[in-house]
Amino acid sequence: METFLSQNGLSLVENENKFRSIITNKKIDIGKTIIISHPLISFPILTYNKIRCDQCLKKKENNLQTCSKCQRVYYCDRSCQKSSWISHHKLLCPLYKKSKNNMDEEMLKRVTILIEKFFNNNNNNNNENYLFETFLKLMTHRTEQSINNLKSFEKISNNTYENLNFNKISKDDLINYLCVFYCNNFNLHDNQLFVYGEGTFPIGSLFNHSCRPNAIVMYDGAVQIIKCIEVINVGEEINISYIDVALDRVTRKKMLQEKYFFECQCSRCSVQERYSGIFSKIDQLIEEKDQVITKKDFNTSLENWVSSESKLEQNESKFSKVTKLILSNLLSHIKNNTTDNDYINSLSEIISILFQNYSKTNLFYISSFSFTTKLFYDKIDLQQWYQSTILGNYILSIYLIIYPRYHPMIGLHLFTLGKCYWNDITNGLESVKESINILECAQKVLNITHNEGAENVDIINQ
């Protein structure tokens, strides 16, 4: 594993608080691929199993061939079917008739078959042995798992043990593997960030979490790609995010504790920095304020703003003012090659201004955000393009506060917003100009986030 990491210019170092971290041995620039790694096992989730190959997870609508014996798994071609057969399917195919597996059981069976082969030293893929070594060193957090989890793990482990014969692996080991899956497995997502599969990626699991990450995780079929979104200097730690960083502090804390068993001490969550550091201030902005404003009140005022008859009335709204303030200051940092420092300084300034003027307004009412995005897509469906641009800009301004500037969420949103402007003819030439501006920004972000992997590159060429 150390060799594989060092080939990629990375090192694993011991760290008092976090057990271990990945640091870089060379400066990494924005948009560069940090590491590409393979899973021990990955497979499509149920809704995708007929359009994505069970072995390579590449998309191939309508043309997948099913295994004629079990008719439960689908492959893109003979070679994938053969690889799967040799890897695990030969043992699992006859079992599908008996029972229906849940995801955990399916993952456990496949991974354990491979680990048994690894222990028996007859694993065909010897150059991937580091994946097994790394997996077996991952933390189980077994003593911290809930009683319910452990009960279900025991049940799955019993089922698996009854169905398959293992010589070198005990029932207890299986419970450990399930514990590792629980806090390490990844959801594979497509270029639009829709989840299509689940995978055990031992190398990816070595990267620590941050709520303000300097790297993102992308996929191409079954392959995991970690990309740099902020300049990372020699000796600095590389962080990805395990959860959506748009969540508020309390929710993030709860999720990270329950699923990953740690208390986040990143630049946004650190107790020392609480509301003094720039990133921790973001959380104060998006947290619900004491003053009484219900979700319903907020949603109504948002709807009124978007659909107000006169443009003047619209411009007077706090929503408009905040949107304009943020976009006029931060969009240039996407388009131009400003340094991370310049960008953070601008962000810092904007956040201070928002604090002084709007800190009691709940303008960033994050628990209403699903309503806001739904309203945006409703306007698109209704082809109310002008209104969709108003809402799209407001959403963009929130994204620019909570996500790092070169985040896939920002790139994808810019792309959608650019198309809304293109369709909006009420403002004539102005909207054509704005459309080009927004689409150029989208291209800049997507060239950083989506420039590796065939399916991802597709979106840039659109």
Give the footprint of Zn ion on residues 73-92 (CB under 5 A). Answer: 76, 80
62 vs 143 by CB, closer to Zn ion: 62
- The residue assigned the tokens 């200051």 is 329
User: Using CA atoms, how far apart are residues 327 and 410, in angstroms rounded to an integer?
Assistant: 13
Residue 358, class by beta-carbon neighbours within 10 Å (0-12 exposed, 13-18 middle, 19+ buried)? middle
Closest approach of Zn ion to the CB of residue 56, in Å: 3
Q: How far is the CB of 324 from Zn ion (least distance, A)?
A: 30
Would you count residue 113 as binding Zn ion (CB under 5 A)?
no
Contact set for Zn ion, span 199-218 (CB under 5 A): 211
Q: Closer to Zn ion at the Cβ: 225 or 266?
A: 266
User: Which letter does DSSP use for residue 59 in this model?
Assistant: B
Q: Which stretch binds Zn ion (CB under 5 A): 68-76, 99-107, 342-350, 441-449?
A: 68-76
Least Å distance between CB 229 and Zn ion? 16
Q: Shortest approach of Zn ion to residue 215 CB, angstroms? A: 15
For Zn ion, give the closer residue by CB, 342 or 458. 458
Which range in 72-80, 133-141, 224-232, 431-439 contacts Zn ion by CB under 5 A? 72-80
Is 131:40 a contact under the CB 8 Å cutoff?
yes
Residue 144 gets which letter from DSSP? Answer: G
Considering only residues 3 to 62 of the shown chain, the ones binding Zn ion according to CB under 5 A are 53, 55-56
Based on CB atoms, which residue is closest to Zn ion, 81 or 134? 81
237, 260 contact by CB (below 8 A): no
Per rule CB under 5 A, is residue 222 in the interface with Zn ion? no
Q: Does 247 bind Zn ion (CB under 5 A)?
A: no
Nearest residue to 209 (alpha-carbon basis) of 244, 185, 241, 171: 241
What is the rounded end-to-end Cα distance, in angstroms, of the chain? 38
Residue 100 Cβ vs Zn ion, minimum distance, rounded to whole Å: 14
Binding of residue 269 to Zn ion (CB under 5 A): yes
Q: Is 70 in the site for Zn ion (CB under 5 A)?
A: yes
In whole angstroms, the minimum distance from the beta carbon of 395 to Zn ion comes to 23
φ, ψ of residue 147 in degrees (nearest 5): -60, -40
Buried-exposed string 303-329: b where 16+ CB fall within 10 A, e elsewhere? eebbebeeeeebeebebbebbebbbeb
Which of 5, 28, 35, 67 is in the footprint of Zn ion by CB under 5 A? 67
Pairwise CA distance, residues 407 & 450, whole Å? 10
Please say which residue, 47 or 307, places its beta carbon nearer to Zn ion.
Answer: 47
For 8, 110, 142, 208, the CA distances from 177, given in Å and listed in that order, are: 27, 11, 10, 20
Considering only 5, 93, 174, 410, the residue that binds Zn ion (CB under 5 A) is: 93
Q: Should residue 266 be labelled a site residue for Zn ion when binding is judged by CB under 5 A? A: yes
CB of 57 to Zn ion, least distance (A): 7
Q: With contact defined as beta carbons under 8 Å apart, do 180 and 218 qualify?
A: no
Q: Which among 407, 29, 449 is positioned nearest to 231, based on CA atoms?
A: 29
Residue 433, token pair as written in the block: 């100009």
CB 411 within 8 A of CB 446: yes
Q: Is 448 in the site for Zn ion (CB under 5 A)?
A: no
Q: How far is the CB of 170 from Zn ion (least distance, A)?
A: 27
Task: Find the shortest distance in angstroms from Cβ 339 to Zn ion.
Answer: 24
- The label of the residue with tokens 């689409």 reads 439
Binding site for Zn ion (CB under 5 A): 53, 55-56, 67, 69-70, 76, 80, 93, 211, 264, 266, 268-269
